[in-house]
């Protein structure tokens, strides 16, 4: 079984087009968890285009209402505000993502083949693990990066799945999938858990999970919220859960 973590950023994006709490982020996160989602994911960005600082503790309280649910906060580990969020609420998981402050959306993982990147990440991983958080590193599907993640002491990797989504369905799909398979296998061999996320959807998720081994968690936001506009929040959770198990 693969856990489903619902990324609620896009709900906050819609809310932020007005000066009041509609749609209500906490209420919809609660509906998702009550319908069977295993967790909630957010990615607070410095420009506050969706998640605001005040949302973080509120969502942490919602997740705490569900004893088995997990709270996952994504962000750049070199940003002071991100680290403060982690220290304040101590989520289950911190997913480190190498995004610039003004980045439109996440579009690449850490290049752990660069010794300077590894040198800068190692103390951040230890610092956040010291808060009691599991640390996952956002990576491109490159099996050569996995040993570096293990040496840094990360708990998991998150596979950046936009290239897979772009290849689905095209003649290049099998060759693209092979990189994900090899990277996931390498992670398991090195004792790392495997997460995945970015542009996964009802259309492409089943093929990914049936091909890539040992995926513990998928975090899905944009497609999930688009589906929720059509099917409703709870029904959308059920449809994704029918795929994840």
Residue 7 assigned ligand-binding role: yes
Identified catalytic residue from 70, 74, 158, 217:
74
Residue 85 assigned ligand-binding role: no
Closest CA to 120 of 161, 181, 79: 79
Q: By the 8 A CB rule, do 213 and 189 touch? A: no
Residue 199 assigned ligand-binding role: yes
Q: By the 8 A CB rule, do 45 and 80 touch? A: no
Does residue 108 have a cis peptide bond before it, meaning omega lies within 30 degrees of 0? no
Q: Strand ranges (DSSP E) for 140-205? A: 156-160, 193-197
Whether 43 is catalytic: yes
* Residue carrying the six token digits 């609420």: 89
Q: What is the rounded (10 degree) CA torsion for 242, 109, 25, 202?
A: -20
Residue 105 assigned ligand-binding role: yes
Q: By the 8 A CB rule, do 137 and 149 touch? A: yes
Whether 127 is catalytic: no
Identified catalytic residue from 70, 148, 158, 198:
198
Residue 221 assigned ligand-binding role: yes
Count the Cβ atoms, other than its own, within 10 Å of residue 239: 15
Q: By the 8 A CB rule, do 227 and 236 touch? A: yes
Identified catalytic residue from 43, 70, 158, 217:
43
Binding-site residues for 1-deoxy-D-xylulose 5-phosphate sit at 45, 50, 105
Binding-site residues for 3-amino-2-oxopropyl phosphate sit at 7, 18, 199, 221-222
Residues belonging to the active site: 43, 74, 198
Binding-site residues sit at 7, 18, 45, 50, 105, 199, 221-222
């Amino acid at each position: 079984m693969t856990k489903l973590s619902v990324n609620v950023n896009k709900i906050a994006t819609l809310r932020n087009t007005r000066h009041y709490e509609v749609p209500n982020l906490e209420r919809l996160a609660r509906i998702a968890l009550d319908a069977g989602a295993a967790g909630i994911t957010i990615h607070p960005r410095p420009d506050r285009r969706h998640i605001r600082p005040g949302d973080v503790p509120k969502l942490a309280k919602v997740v705490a209402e569900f004893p088995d649910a997990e709270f996952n906060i994504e962000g750049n580990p070199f940003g002071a505000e991100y680290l403060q969020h982690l220290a304040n609420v101590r989520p289950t998981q911190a997913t480190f993502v190498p995004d610039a402050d003004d980045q439109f959306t996440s579009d690449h993982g850490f290049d752990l083949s660069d010794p300077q990147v590894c040198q800068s990440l190692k103390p951040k991983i230890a610092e956040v693990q010291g808060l009691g958080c599991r640390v996952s590193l956002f990576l491109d599907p490159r099996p050569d990066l996995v040993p570096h993640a293990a040496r840094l002491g990360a708990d998991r990797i998150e596979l950046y799945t936009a290239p897979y989504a772009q290849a689905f369905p095209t003649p290049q799909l099998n060759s693209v999938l092979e990189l994900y398979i090899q990277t996931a296998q390498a992670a398991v061999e090195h004792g790392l858990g495997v997460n995945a996320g970015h542009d996964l959807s009802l259309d492409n998720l089943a093929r990914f999970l049936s091909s890539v081994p040992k995926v513990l968690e998928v975090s899905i936001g944009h497609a999930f919220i688009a589906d929720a506009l059509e099917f409703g929040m709870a029904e959308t959770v059920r449809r994704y859960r029918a795929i994840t198990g």
